[in-house]
Amino acid sequence: MKGSNLKEIYNDFHLGGYTKDFDSFEFKSISDKNSIKNKSIYFCGKAIFWQTLKANSEKDLLIIFSKKFFDEGGTDLLSQLKDYSFWATVENLPLAMSALSEPFYKEFTAEDNDEVDGRQMGTCEVHPTAIISQGVFLGAHVKIGRNVRLYPGCVVSSFCEIEDETILYPNVTLMPRTRLGKFCRIHSGTVIGSDGFGYNFNEGVHHKVWHMGGVIIGDNVEIGSNSSVDQGTFSPTKIYSGTKIDNLVQVAHNVQLGMGTILCGQAGVAGSATIGDFTVVGGSAAIAPDCHIGKACQIGGLAGVMNNLEDGAKVAGFPARPIKEWLKGLAYVRKMTLKK
């Protein structure tokens, strides 16, 4: 999409210094801090986004700053922008994100076809050993590996990939650009790759952030029935190999689940949280947005994790705190309530 088109879609950004012809420059995508690509747009309203960008080698992009963050950075920030092709400021960064993500979404999904089965259109690659039951729908450009088994009612949408020996039980839905590794088992009613819950409120309207990041799932992952894994906003939600997810679990957009993690029933992981390898999240526990949970942590059932946790942490309660401290607190409350 050319810079001149971006101006037409959202004309409320103020271009600063730039090194190339903005109007004719072709922008290919939108980046986020998990995946920064040249010829893309990058939204920056907090220090963490700016620090991540500075540590990256890509320079040929448009950085859109919130005016507040940019003004607070002052001359120091301005002096560091000389190597970047384009930068701009906006009064309302979330609104700009909503407005500019929609045309990229439409462009990105233009070749999707989930109305006519891809086998009928000749765009699918299905290994001859795969077992595809009656009542299964395959979208455009789907790839199915060796000995994959798809039970009745499954929907595998455009550009999905399923590797060898993976099983989808009845009525599983894979939304576009979901990739499943080998030897995975996905149980009935689970949906992988639907849009994350992302809206920006302005003048009485919730403006949608358009999602196009997809989901990548490693090998030997099992997901219970009626769970949901949302696709990333501009880069993938990722679940690494060996992870096991129980029934009725919510994994939000841009979440990163490490190897061998365990999520018990009704747990919820909010957007952009990361969970380290072999951490266990108890039933109905909740992880707040952007939290970083270390490796080999244990999070008690019904806990509410609001802050980052170091490797090996054991927490419980709401807000979550070290389990020994939480148990002492419970004992003290009980003692006081039973006191005559």
**Active-site residue set:** 253
How many whole angstroms separate alpha carbon 312 and alpha carbon 218?
23
How many whole angstroms separate alpha carbon 233 and alpha carbon 265?
25
Query: Can you tell me whether residue 51 is helix, strand or coil?
Result: helix
Which candidate, 273, 259, 260, places its Cα nearest to that of 34? Answer: 273
Distances (CA, A) of 122 to 139, 158, 200: 10, 13, 40
Which candidate, 213, 221, 180, places its Cα nearest to that of 195? Answer: 213
Distances (CA, A) of 256 to 5, 212, 244: 33, 16, 14
- Tokens representing 137 are 């729908």
Asked whether 191 and 210 are in contact (CB, 8 A), the reply is: no
Asked whether 66 and 93 are in contact (CB, 8 A), the reply is: yes
Query: Can you tell me whether residue 139 is helix, strand or coil?
Result: coil
Quote the Cα angle for 5-10-14, to 5°: 100
